[in-house]
Amino acid sequence: MTEPALDRLKGRFRGTLRGVKTVLVPALLAAGLGACGVYEYVTDKISDPIVLRCPEYLVVADAANLVRFRDGPGRDLIDVDFETKIIRVQLVCTSNIDKRTRVGTLDVEVTVTFRAERGPANRSREGRFDFFISVVGSDQKILYREVFAINVGFPGNKTRLLLRSEPVILEIPITPKRASRSFRIFAGLKLSRDELEFNRQRRQKTGG
């Protein structure tokens, strides 16, 4: 697989929820299959598979938490509708690599855990927020970015909940020149400009 051919795949990075598998790189998979060898290819992978490490992942500091206020100019504690914070990102990786060509894919299942807290101004006992997952190459260019929605309900007297996203499955193309360490996975909450500025000001005040 040439570098130009791999570069053409950048625009095809997609994430899916569990149960729907993306097909990003059929050409890469086909490259490892000879005219006689589907059985041999599968046997080799089972008997002595190539296992790759998961890519490094990071939570964007300015987008790790969200404070959403009710409509209006108020920005005091009593004006808070709800708050959300990313508290964990979990990766589960499965390698699908041909031993002879070192070409294939790395399936990365990304699950994000959040803590959501109902604010004094919340009357509906509901909330909604968005989070994103992005994949960045070694040249720091974004290869994939997608936004996912989370709906929150606060039953009864509950004011704080732990929520876990549906797994998002990424299929990353691997070649001898582009291993799993060539990629980074980022997670964060989608914020408005005002929400982002609020986070930055609060971090400056707290030194966090």
Instruction: Report how many domains make up the chain.
Output: 1
pTM given for the model: 0.75
Per-10-residue mean pLDDT for the chain, 208 residues long? 42 45 31 36 52 92 96 92 96 91 93 97 95 94 94 93 95 90 95 94 78
* Predicted pLDDT at 38: 40
Q: What per-residue confidence (pLDDT) applies to 11?
A: 41
pLDDT of residue 179: 87
Residue-range definition of the domain harbouring residue 138: 3-206
**Phi/psi class of residue 19: alpha, beta or left (left: φ > 0; alpha: ψ in -120 to 50)?**
left
Q: What pLDDT score was predicted for residue 15?
A: 54
Residue 50's pLDDT is 78
What pLDDT does residue 16 have?
A: 52
